[in-house]
Amino acid sequence: MKPTIIDVAERAKVSKATVSRVLNNNPQVKDEIRERVLRVIEELGYRPSAIARNLATNRSNVIGLILPDITNPYFPVIARGIEDAAHQLGYALFISNTDNDPKLEQEYIQKMVEQQVSGIVLISSTLDEETVHELTSLQMPIVLCDRLIVGKPFDAVLIDDYKAAYEAVSYFIGQGHQRIAHLAGPRNIQSAENRKTGYLDAMRSANLEPFVSVGTFSYESGMHQMGAVIDEYRPTALFASNDLLALGAMQEIHRRGLTIPGDIAVIGCDDIPFSKMSRPMLSTISIPVYQIGVTAVQLLEDQMKGVRVGMKSVIMEHKLIHRESCGGVDLL
Amino acid sequence: MKPTIIDVAERAKVSKATVSRVLNNNPQVKDEIRERVLRVIEELGYRPSAIARNLATNRSNVIGLILPDITNPYFPVIARGIEDAAHQLGYALFISNTDNDPKLEQEYIQKMVEQQVSGIVLISSTLDEETVHELTSLQMPIVLCDRLIVGKPFDAVLIDDYKAAYEAVSYFIGQGHQRIAHLAGPRNIQSAENRKTGYLDAMRSANLEPFVSVGTFSYESGMHQMGAVIDEYRPTALFASNDLLALGAMQEIHRRGLTIPGDIAVIGCDDIPFSKMSRPMLSTISIPVYQIGVTAVQLLEDQMKGVRVGMKSVIMEHKLIHRESCGGVDLL
DNA sequence: TTGAAAGCGCTAACAC
DNA sequence: GTGTTAGCGCTTTCAA
């Protein structure tokens, strides 16, 4: 059997309260006794049970991360930011993939509640009313990360998708492009919609005829959509709603014997690790993904400590990274 | 306050034992009472505390995953396989990144022990004696995943790195290549060493002069090393120890105005998602990463259920995926 | 089929 | 400075 606090207490000839005190670094323990206890702990290889502790203190020092799919190259860096920040603050991390399925989201939220997590970081693109309602009724610290449905009553860390898209398109316009296409993401993903709107507005304000092709946020989708876009619109520039889409589009552009950026200039969004490995290297809107994760945990910590009342949203800065695929002068 | 089992019991006018029974689907509860209790649970929005439950049952239904870095594109798919399998079996998942730091590995193992996880999946490249010793003394279900230090007394799921490398090199030899270089991974990573040995043996058995360049498992390393390899060895083919290395090497090859596979044919290893997005598409040794994760959890489950005594290693099948970068006839 | 009560391993008053 | 004791919310005998 694993030793318990009682085993330690008996062997060290003290009460378990004292053992508990040394465990929690309570200063009012005589050094001599502290050392004796420590020694016994060592001898026995004793490890306090976090579970018993949690039950007694009603806190778990665990935070939960719920995200769509760790396999999507956009998320690992966020996850890493969250994990690093969490561990730094002494929290362990639960993780669950939902594939954006509201059913699963709710199920995992429930599970986390049952596990008594101290807080939840939720990355969801599709938050429905029901989930929101469930979340609010939880009375639990929650931070929405990156893909907010606007107007929801939660802390959130986001980027300004609208502006990011607007800037990318404006760059193309500044370069003299007239036929700028947009590969959009799924309609139920808020950030995709915002980027689309940004694109549309930028085009309109320059009196240019927009062309949008809607797909999923995947490489394959980028390939397939791009074929039709070329056939129907003959763009000289492309703004893709995320890098995977852009990379897929580039593949198709090359397949047709067209050049990048010569025939078609391309800008993506997210700056996933691979965007600098493509040929030509993908120009893209860079998002401080790691920092988003760190910030999310900070907001969570604030809530957990009760430092702050009321909600708080943090908007992270994005930046157009001028690599090879968008043509034009080097902006650096 | 969150309702407890007592609140439910009182409101349903039964004892908490009965509530506990319906919670655990104990069949010997009268339907009428079961329904009444269920109704109250619903009304109160009651959720049993996993923590209290764990303390009472001494099981946590949580498994821990310790891996080097979720940000490395090789790991997310494994992680996903593990998570899916875990959730399927009713386990939640802890996750920790170690960056292959033995200190951190030990720290996280300790944390997981304190959290009373039911089992641990450990992906480590560098397992030192001390950690192994700690692990064995834990008496806890453990599965080593993918990067085994051979001869350690744990369950493991692996691939045959030696053979994989041997096959890749043999393919090149079969194509008539004489100057086949190898970009190796770090010396302290077992799989990298095994791949290197496979390369070396294949070269020797064909009486070819080998050329190995050792670096890290990164894209940048691939770029940098490849420069020297070209200068010093003028290879016509390259076997890289992983895809990131291969992709970096391809970048450098292109930068020098050389063609792939024309001037230098390349084969990578791992089949990370990006290997099919590169241009040309990277030929590589494909590893059933997702299945590795699933299998690891199955082994863990076996241990946790006590189904099996003794150790077990599972070797997963790899396969050379012939895409564009390795030249030669299409093998399909 | 149900209830009473002991206990899981720890923390936190409170008393000494 | 240290010990006693009463919980934390659940499961699980054991009786009834």
Note which residues in 8-67 of chain A have CB less than 8 A from chain B. Answer: 45, 47-52, 54-55, 60, 62
SS3 readout for chain B: CCCCHHHHHHHHCCCHHHHHHHHCCCCCCCHHHHHHHHHHHHHHCCCCCHHHHHHHHCCCCEEEEEECCCCCCCHHHHHHHHHHHHHHCCCEEEEEECCCCHHHHHHHHHHHHHCCCCEEEECCCCCCHHHHHHHHHHCCCEEEECCCCCCCCCEEEEECHHHHHHHHHHHHHHCCCCCEEEEECCCCCHHHHHHHHHHHHHHHHCCCCCEEEECCCCHHHHHHHHHHHHHHHCCCEEEECCHHHHHHHHHHHHHCCCCCCCCCEEEEEECCHHHHCCCCCCEEEECCHHHHHHHHHHHHHHHHHCCCCCCCEEEECCEEECCCCCCCCCCC
Tell me, rounded to whole angstroms, the distance of Cα A298 from its chain centroid.
Answer: 14
Question: Residue B217: which of B181, B258, B184, B239 has the closest Cα?
Answer: B184
DSSP A17: H
* Distance, Å, B33 CA → C7 C1': 27
Position A49, amino acid: S
Contact A268, A199 (CB under 8 A): no
Q: Is A240 inside a domain boundary?
A: yes
How long, in residues, is chain A? 332
The answer to whether residues B20 and B87 belong to one domain is: no
- For the CA atoms of B277, B280, B286, B291, the dihedral, rounded to the nearest 10 degrees, stands at 10
CATH of the domain at B35: 1.10.260.40
Bridge-based pairing of strands B319-321 and B283-286 is antiparallel
Q: Which nucleotides of C are covered by protein (CB under 7 A)?
A: 1-5, 7-13
The answer to whether residues A274 and A311 belong to one domain is: no
Note which residues in 94-123 of chain A have CB less than 8 A from chain B. Answer: 94-97, 110-111, 113-116
Cα–Cα dist B251/B228, whole Å: 14
Q: Give strand ranges (E) for chain A.
A: 62-67, 92-97, 119-122, 142-145, 155-159, 180-184, 211-214, 237-240, 265-270, 283-286, 313-316, 319-321
The answer to whether residues B190 and B278 belong to one domain is: yes
Q: For strand D, is any atom closer than 7 Å to the CB of B16?
A: yes
The answer to whether residues B95 and B18 belong to one domain is: no
Higher pLDDT pick, B8 / A329 = B8
The answer to whether residues A79 and A39 belong to one domain is: no
Q: Which nucleotide is nearest to B46 (CA to C1')?
A: D9
Average pLDDT for chain B: 92
Would you call B230 an interface residue with chain A, using a CB distance cutoff of 8 Å?
Answer: no
Interface touch A277/B274, C-beta < 8 Å = yes
B93: closest CA of chain A, how far (Å): 6
Secondary structure class of A37 (helix, strand, coil): helix
Query: Average pLDDT of A293-315?
Result: 88
pLDDT of residue B316: 95
Q: Which nucleotide is nearest to B3 (CA to C1')?
A: D9
Cα–Cα dist B316/B291, whole Å: 8
Note which residues in 140-199 of chain A have CB less than 8 A from chain B. Answer: none
Q: How do residues B46-100 score in pLDDT, each as one tens digit?
A: 999 999 999 999 888 999 999 999 999 999 999 999 999 999 999 999 999 999 8
* Burial label, A298 (beta-carbon count in 10 A; 0-12, 13-18, 19+): middle
Cα–Cα dist B213/B230, whole Å: 11
* Residue A329 pLDDT class (50, 70, 90 cuts): low
* Distance, Å, A210 CA → C7 C1': 70
* Residue A310 pLDDT class (50, 70, 90 cuts): confident
The answer to whether residues B30 and B70 belong to one domain is: no
The answer to whether residues A235 and A95 belong to one domain is: no
Task: Output the six-digit token pair for B172.
Answer: 């090149």
Q: Is A57 inside a domain boundary?
A: no
Q: Is the pLDDT of residue A194 over 90?
A: yes
pLDDT of residue A141: 92
Would you call A217 an interface residue with chain B, using a CB distance cutoff of 8 Å?
Answer: no
If you search the block for the tokens 């979720």, which residue do you land on? B70
Give strand pairing partners of A178: none
Cα–Cα dist A265/A282, whole Å: 10
Q: Is A53 inside a domain boundary?
A: no
Q: How do residues A114-166 score in pLDDT, each as one tens digit?
A: 999 999 999 988 777 788 888 888 888 999 987 666 667 889 999 999 999 99
Task: Output the six-digit token pair for A37.
Answer: 């206890």
Instruction: Kindly give, in sequence order, each residue whose CB lies less than 8 Å from that of residue A17, ignoring residues fewer than 6 positions away.
Output: none
- The CB-side HSE value for B105 (13 A sphere, CA atoms) comes to 24
Contact A193, A160 (CB under 8 A): no
Q: Is the pLDDT of residue B306 over 90?
A: no
Integer CA distances (angstroms), B230 to A147, A199, B135, B225, in order: 45, 44, 44, 9
Q: B280: how many CB neighbours lie within 10 A of its CB?
A: 18
Interface touch A94/B96, C-beta < 8 Å = no
CATH of the domain at B114: 3.40.50.2300
Secondary structure class of A247 (helix, strand, coil): helix
Q: Is the pLDDT of residue A210 over 90?
A: yes
Q: Is A116 inside a domain boundary?
A: yes
For the ranges A108-117, A156-165, A272-281, B147-156, the lowest mean pLDDT is seen at B147-156
Q: A43: how many CB neighbours lie within 10 A of its CB?
A: 12
Q: For strand C, is any atom closer than 7 Å to the CB of A10?
A: no
Q: Which domain holds residue B120?
A: 62-159+289-316
Q: A314: how many CB neighbours lie within 10 A of its CB?
A: 16
pLDDT of residue A149: 60
Secondary structure class of A97 (helix, strand, coil): strand
Nearest CB partner across the interface for B47, out of A48, A80, A114: A114
pLDDT of residue B150: 62
The answer to whether residues A172 and A217 belong to one domain is: yes
Q: Is the pLDDT of residue A332 over 50?
A: no
Q: Which DSSP helix (H) or strand (E) runs through A86?
A: helix A75-88
Q: Is A56 inside a domain boundary?
A: no
* Distance, Å, B92 CA → D11 C1': 21
Q: How do residues A27-60 score in pLDDT, each as one tens digit?
A: 889 999 999 999 999 999 999 999 999 999 988 8
Find and give the residue nearest to C2, measured CA to C1'.
B18
pLDDT of residue A331: 42
Q: What percent of chain A shows pLDDT beyond 70?
A: 97
Q: For strand D, is any atom closer than 7 Å to the CB of B44?
A: no
pLDDT of residue A232: 96
- Residues from chain B contacting residue A117 (CB–CB below 8 Å): none
Q: Phi/psi at A51 (nearest 5 deg)?
A: -65, -50
Contact A235, A260 (CB under 8 A): no
Give strand pairing partners of A93: A63
Q: Is the pLDDT of residue B154 over 50?
A: yes
The answer to whether residues A183 and A154 belong to one domain is: no
Integer CA distances (angstroms), B166 to A149, B148, B247, in order: 52, 19, 20
Cα–Cα dist B116/B56, whole Å: 13
The total of structural domains in chain A comes to: 3
* Residue B131 pLDDT class (50, 70, 90 cuts): confident
The answer to whether residues A36 and A127 belong to one domain is: no
The answer to whether residues A171 and A277 belong to one domain is: yes
Question: Residue B268: which of B216, B325, B226 has the closest Cα?
Answer: B325
* Residue A70 pLDDT class (50, 70, 90 cuts): very high
If you search the block for the tokens 């077990």, which residue do you land on? B312
Q: Is B53 inside a domain boundary?
A: no
Q: For strand C, is any atom closer than 7 Å to the CB of A48?
A: yes
Q: Is A181 inside a domain boundary?
A: yes
Q: Is A101 inside a domain boundary?
A: yes
Q: For strand C, is any atom closer than 7 Å to the CB of B30?
A: yes
Higher pLDDT pick, A128 / A295 = A295
- Residues from chain A contacting residue B42 (CB–CB below 8 Å): none
Cα–Cα dist B15/B8, whole Å: 9
Secondary structure class of A136 (helix, strand, coil): helix
Q: Is the pLDDT of residue B149 over 70?
A: no
Give strand pairing partners of B265: B237
Q: How do residues A71-93 score in pLDDT, each as one tens digit?
A: 999 999 999 999 999 999 999 99
- Residues from chain A contacting residue B51 (CB–CB below 8 Å): 51, 54-55, 60, 115-116
Q: How do residues A213-245 score in pLDDT, each as one tens digit?
A: 999 999 999 999 999 999 999 999 999 999 999
The answer to whether residues A242 and A311 belong to one domain is: no
* Distance, Å, B199 CA → C10 C1': 55
